Amino acid sequence: MRYIIDHDMHIHSGLSFCSSNPEQNPRSLLAYAEKNNYKTLCLTDHMWDSAVPGASDWLAAQNYEHVSKSLPLPESDTVNFLFGCEVDVDKHLTLGISPAVMDKMDFFIISTTHMHMAGFTVEGNEDAAERAVLWCKRLDAVLNMDLPFHKIGIGHLTCPHMYRENYVAVLNAIPTEEYHRLFAKAAKLGVGIELNFDSLTLTDKTREPTLLPYRIAKEEGCKFYFGSDAHNPGDLTDVVRNFENIVDLLNLTEDDKFPLAR
């Protein structure tokens, strides 16, 4: 059966400092999910746990106490509204969440491609080839951690944050065998792989480099979930159309769905 778009597992509220939009709130997000007949929605504001040293100035105030201001989440008869967060890995490969806070989350996203945070997640002076090495090293480090992978997603693996306008050069520099090795490991662990790239604006230059890692992930047996990564109401305009297009591009079926997104 064709993959059914019935969830959004990566979405922000105004509590994320890169949103700060009061109209982007749990009640409006739940209305978005109900309008689109979703079964599952997960709130994933940016967070760095105060129990883990090393937060950047930007993340330090976005701790568990901050993001939990959304609780209790509004309830719905049709949507399972989950509480989660999006956490980063710093340049020392430290993950910004403690086991105690992991236990409080229904689901959480680990972003390994936030390489726009110069001095925090990367040094900032790396070229595309060096960023490609970091892409692999950072993902590999997460997959080697002792984590509850059944409720973890790996966020936006092909997002421009890895090198802004030259992100395709990073993807092109990653060896195919590394994709196979890493995604085989991810599949064995049962971690979710996020799909949220903008498929509607892919070009001849960006299409194949963007799709290749996900095609290999599927080949290796990874399971996928969709996440809009929306920070503002306007970000939700073409979400479903984009998701449906990704399903077609990757020929996804219900067998490819991450269990927690069902």
Q: What backbone torsions phi and psi does residue 201 show, to the nearest 5 degrees? A: -120, 15
The domain limits of the chain are: 7-261
Tokens 């984009």, located at residue = 242
What is the pTM assigned to this prediction? 0.97
C-alpha to C-alpha distance for 253 and 216, rounded to whole angstroms: 15
What average pLDDT is seen over the chain?
97
Stated as kind and residue range, the H or E segment containing 70 is none
Is a pLDDT exceeding 90 seen at residue 242?
A: yes
Tokens of 180: 């196979």
Is a pLDDT exceeding 90 seen at residue 64?
A: yes
Confidence (pLDDT) at 106: 98
Confidence (pLDDT) at 164: 85
pLDDT band at residue 165 under the 50/70/90 scheme: confident
Confidence (pLDDT) at 12: 98
Residue-wise pLDDT tens digits, 70-104: 999 999 999 999 999 999 999 999 999 999 999 99
Confidence (pLDDT) at 183: 99
Stated as kind and residue range, the H or E segment containing 81 is strand 80-88
Residue-wise pLDDT tens digits, 218-230: 999 999 999 999 9
pLDDT band at residue 20 under the 50/70/90 scheme: confident
CATH class of 7-261: alpha beta
Q: How far is CA 3 from the centre of its chain?
A: 19
Confidence (pLDDT) at 93: 98
Q: Which of 139, 134, 118, 99 is nearest to 58 (CA)?
A: 118
Is a pLDDT exceeding 90 seen at residue 235?
A: yes
C-alpha to C-alpha distance for 124 and 71, rounded to whole angstroms: 36
